[in-house]
Amino acid sequence: MSKSDGGLRRLHGRGACLQGKIVIAGPCSVESEQQVMETALKLGKLGVSALRGGIWKPRTRPGSFQGVGEIGLPWLKAAGRAAKLPVACEVAYPAHVDACLTHGIDILWIGARTTVNPFSVQALADRLRGVDLPVMVKNPVNPDLELWLGAIERLHRAGVTKIIAVHRGFSTARQTIYRNEPIWRIPLELRRRMPHVPLICDPSHMGGTRELLKPISQEALDLLYDGLMIEVHPRPEKAQSDASQQITPKRLRSLLAGLILKKENTLVRDYISHIAALRKEVDGLDHQLLDCLGQRMEIVRQMSHCKEKYGVSSFQPHRWSDIVRDRTRYGSAHALDQDFVMEIFDHIHEEAIRLQERETDVIPPEPVTHKHIRRPHRIVAAAERR
């Protein structure tokens, strides 16, 4: 997989509206011949890289609009031809791939509800063997990096070389402003593990509202994403799916114009020396943090022997409550976000308990599952935060 693959280079170079980044735009669903043609012509003038349009729509509840089906594929293709844009469509079954190939669809994508299912992804990968089209892989609905990586690997093993990862956010139990929470560390880890797979962001499904499109897109660009996929409809409020997040082509133009592109690096001498000095300070502080953590865990070992001697449990709910209260307050006084502080102390406490149990042989020396167990102290911590 290489960023310079022919098909992908074609996409990269085309996004004239965002300095060469990939911009895939178009309606959530293809609804009519006229709707997709009108959208395509306006997007073509704007200089996007490709036109998207859902033909088979995965809807949460039955009874809502399921997409127009195969009849819409020639509409999508004709719109793309008229606007001189490659066209992209979601596929969930091998039969969808057959239909897309019949109608000359240029790019395929695997939706979030399909990426979660290795059976479905494998069936698609098998069908795509020998098919030379770019395939976009949306992140799975749930925040599971391995599933996302696994789907990309299945395609790669089937010989698909032009793969793009699409970050559209994750469904979580937390109440947030997003329709799908970004959890940026997951796509960033994907990029670290698969640096040659272009990564683009879908702020439409992530935000779920028009207002969030710009801040999310800017954040993605600040993180050096390779592009964006944005839902565009000529009359968004009348759209048959995802009406609240779609925007007009005109609004897309001003959205893209307002985004700021930053470079990964610069050779300006002042920058290089200033940043090097700051990084040196950060390196030193990180080492101090690790020194402190090492010392803390050494004391934890001593505590475990003390508790063992007096038959006291390693987990102490009241002590943990006190720690939560004190550390979040102390962190706030140093302008540190409470959730951030809690996240760190969740990990520290989990490790402390694991060490104590190992020290006193409650658990075997090489536990492999502790990270997956929701330990009681985590439940207490979650309650404390509320």
In the bound state with ligand PEP, the residue whose beta carbon lies nearer, of 203 and 249, is 203
In the bound state with Mn ion, the residue whose beta carbon lies nearer, of 243 and 297, is 243
**Minimal CB distance to ligand PEP: which residue?**
111
Residue 68: helix, strand or coil by DSSP?
coil
The reply on whether position 77 binds ligand PEP by CB under 6 A is: no
In the bound state with ligand PEP, the residue whose beta carbon lies nearer, of 15 and 207, is 207
**Rounded-to-integer distance, Cα 95 and Cα 90, Å:** 12
Residue 339: helix, strand or coil by DSSP?
helix
The residue from 26, 80, 111, 187 that contacts ligand PEP (CB under 6 A) is 111
Stretch that binds ligand PEP, among 70-78, 110-118, 262-270, 322-330 (CB under 6 A): 110-118
Q: Of 111, 91, 119, which is closest to residue 103 (Cα–Cα)?
A: 91
The reply on whether position 112 binds ligand PEP by CB under 6 A is: yes
Write out the binding residues for Mn ion, residues 292-351 only, by CB under 5 A. none
Whether residue 134 contacts residue 109, with contact meaning beta carbons closer than 8 Å, is answered with: no
The reply on whether position 58 binds ligand PEP by CB under 6 A is: yes
Q: C-alpha distances in angstroms, 186 versus 152, 262, 341?
A: 15, 22, 19
Residue 237 CB partners (closer than 8 Å, separation 6+): 243
CB of 58 to ligand PEP, least distance (A): 6
Stretch that binds ligand PEP, among 111-119, 185-193, 276-284, 351-359 (CB under 6 A): 111-119
CB of 157 to ligand PEP, least distance (A): 22
Write out the binding residues for ligand PEP, residues 306-325 only, by CB under 6 A. none
Sign of CA dihedral 153, 154, 158, 162: negative
| Angle of the 33-46 helix axis to the 249-257 helix axis, nearest 10 | 20
The reply on whether position 202 binds Mn ion by CB under 5 A is: no
The reply on whether position 167 binds ligand PEP by CB under 6 A is: no
In the bound state with Mn ion, the residue whose beta carbon lies nearer, of 236 and 331, is 236
Whether residue 55 contacts residue 76, with contact meaning beta carbons closer than 8 Å, is answered with: yes
CB of 66 to Mn ion, least distance (A): 13
Stretch that binds ligand PEP, among 108-116, 254-262, 307-315, 318-326 (CB under 6 A): 108-116
CB of 168 to ligand PEP, least distance (A): 4
In the bound state with Mn ion, the residue whose beta carbon lies nearer, of 107 and 324, is 107
Interface size with ligand PEP, residues (CB under 6 A): 10
Sign of CA dihedral 217, 223, 224, 227: negative
Q: Of 236, 186, 179, 200, which is closest to residue 49 (Cα–Cα)?
A: 200
**Rounded-to-integer distance, Cα 243 and Cα 27, Å:** 10
The reply on whether position 26 binds ligand PEP by CB under 6 A is: no
**Rounded-to-integer distance, Cα 205 and Cα 219, Å:** 15
Residue 289: helix, strand or coil by DSSP?
helix
Q: Which does 230 bind (CB under 5 to 8 A by kind): ligand PEP, Mn ion, none?
A: none
* Strand partners of residue 231: 26
Stretch that binds Mn ion, among 175-183, 222-230, 238-246, 367-375 (CB under 5 A): 238-246
Q: C-alpha distances in angstroms, 241 versus 24, 27, 176, 203, 227?
A: 18, 9, 22, 16, 23
The residue from 90, 181, 202, 242 that contacts Mn ion (CB under 5 A) is 242
| Residue with the two structure tokens 């690790």 | 290
Write out the binding residues for Mn ion, residues 3-32 only, by CB under 5 A. 28
CB of 176 to ligand PEP, least distance (A): 17
In the bound state with ligand PEP, the residue whose beta carbon lies nearer, of 4 and 60, is 60
Phi, psi of 109 (to 5 degrees): -140, 150
CB of 56 to Mn ion, least distance (A): 12
In the bound state with Mn ion, the residue whose beta carbon lies nearer, of 164 and 381, is 164
Q: How many CA atoms lie within 13 A of 215 on its CB side?
A: 10
In the bound state with Mn ion, the residue whose beta carbon lies nearer, of 67 and 331, is 67
Interface residues toward Mn ion, by CB under 5 A: 28, 242
Interface residues toward ligand PEP, by CB under 6 A: 28, 54, 58, 111-113, 138, 168, 202, 205
